[in-house]
Chain A
């Protein structure tokens, strides 16, 4: 069975500081990994995805994520957070031609001035 764990329910970070959101997954085959962001009252927007190749992937809005197979992790990072990054972030896992993604519980990010 596939599953995703996001250990941090809520993170508060100062504007301009770095941000790292943790994601651990369980998947029986080669995983496809995704990070989505949900701003208040909005749907989900894809930040980035990993399928294969370079384990460090770049996404939109200055985010990046690193796939570590040995740790079953796919942590999201941003070097300098902006107030507009305050949102909920979801990590998800699926597989090739497996369109049914499993989502983590989400991490809420609060940005303080």
Chain B
């Protein structure tokens, strides 16, 4: 298993600003992902955070809007840029623990963003 810490846990932001969310894991992980959960919705994968290289984005998500960094195996950041009220969501970091051969994901507690 893994303990995943996300910061901030919640924030209220103004339209047009940007916010960076941090994800720190307490153990070695092979894969890190960022998901979005809009109000009352399920989880949608934003991107795979790749160590030392550009993230791999899913359809509908672009780097300019959601820049992601992963400087090492246990840390990643997601920035939500030029926010609008439609970006109000919970953003979740998830990981696959090193040595796992299955698709089991562990999740952080999420960062709840409200954009006014």
A interface list, Cβ under 8 A from B: 32, 34, 36, 41-46, 49, 51, 90, 94-101, 103-106
Contact = CB atoms under 8 A, between A and B. Distances in A.
B105 A101 contact: yes
A38 to B, nearest CB: 9
Nearest to A32: B103
B116 to A, nearest CB: 20
Interface in B94-116: 94, 96, 101-110, 112
A44 B42 contact: no
Contacts of A98: 103
B104 A46 contact: yes
Across chains A and B, which 7 residue pairs bring their CB atoms closest together, nearest first?
A: A94-B103, A43-B109, A44-B107, A43-B107, A103-B43, A103-B42, A105-B42
Contacts of B4: 43
A105 B103 CA distance: 19
Contact of B103 (A45, A90, A101): A101
Chain A interface SS verdict (over half): strand
Nearest to B4: A43
A43 B105 contact: no
A90 B43 contact: yes
A46 B107 CA distance: 9
Contacts of A34: 103-105
A44 B92 contact: yes
Contacts of A45: 107
17 contacts: A34-B104, A34-B105, A43-B109, A44-B43, A46-B105, A46-B106, A49-B104, A94-B103, A95-B103, A96-B103, A97-B103, A98-B103, A100-B48, A101-B45, A103-B42, A103-B43, A106-B42
A100 B45 contact: yes
Given A36-B107, A104-B42, 19 more contacts: A32-B102, A34-B104, A41-B112, A43-B4, A43-B107, A43-B110, A46-B105, A51-B102, A95-B103, A96-B102, A99-B31, A99-B33, A99-B96, A99-B105, A100-B48, A101-B45, A101-B105, A105-B42, A106-B42
